[in-house]
């Protein structure tokens, strides 16, 4: 690819979708059917953004990027832009960020913890995207 994409830009979202679809099989995703919205607070432009992942039977069904209130999802995870950037760069695990209060979760915590390994697989794929933060 060669060039860095701006994190959470439409181009980064497109690359993320392509990589998630090609690098994560339904088996690796444990055939999960779930949805998760990440709400990024205090983005570099001062606003907030959301990224919504929807999986059906382990396959990425939808990846939405936007501003404002995110669409309804099974889990809503809210945190500072920099916390999510650290997770995406593989500097911080999502599980640790939740357990230390850096991320706030709305949804079933027990199910979320069971899905933490799946979130880490996704983040490992996303961490390979050359990006500027």
**pLDDT value, residue 94:** 85
The pTM of the whole model exceeds 0.85: yes
36-62: per-residue pLDDT in tens? 999 999 999 999 999 999 999 999 999
Q: What is the pLDDT of residues 92-133, one digit of tens each?
A: 988 889 889 999 999 988 888 778 888 888 989 999 999 999
Mean pLDDT of 71-99: 92
Check residue 7 and give its pLDDT.
96
Q: Residue 9 pLDDT more than 60?
A: yes
Output the pLDDT for position 113.
76
The CATH number of 5-128 is 3.30.1050.10
Asked whether residue 1 carries a pLDDT value surpassing 60, the answer given is no
What ranges do the domains of the chain cover? Answer: 5-128
Phi, psi of 55 (to 5 degrees): -115, 140
For residues 38 and 95, what is the distance between their CA atoms, to the nearest angstrom? 14
What is the pLDDT at residue 2?
64
């Amino acid at each position: 690819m060669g060039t860095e994409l701006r994190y959470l830009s439409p181009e980064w979202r497109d690359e993320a979708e392509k990589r998630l679809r090609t690098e994560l099989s339904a088996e690796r995703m444990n055939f999960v059917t779930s949805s998760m919205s990440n709400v990024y607070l205090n983005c570099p432009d001062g606003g907030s953004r959301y990224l919504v992942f929807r999986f059906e039977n382990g396959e990425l069904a939808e990846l939405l990027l936007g501003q404002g209130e995110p669409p309804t999802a099974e889990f809503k995870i809210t945190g500072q832009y920099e916390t999510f950037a650290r997770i995406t760069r593989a500097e911080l695990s999502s599980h640790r960020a939740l357990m230390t209060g850096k991320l706030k979760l709305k949804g079933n915590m027990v199910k979320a913890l069971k899905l933490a390994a799946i979130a880490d697989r996704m983040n490992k794929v996303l961490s390979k995207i050359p990006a500027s933060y």
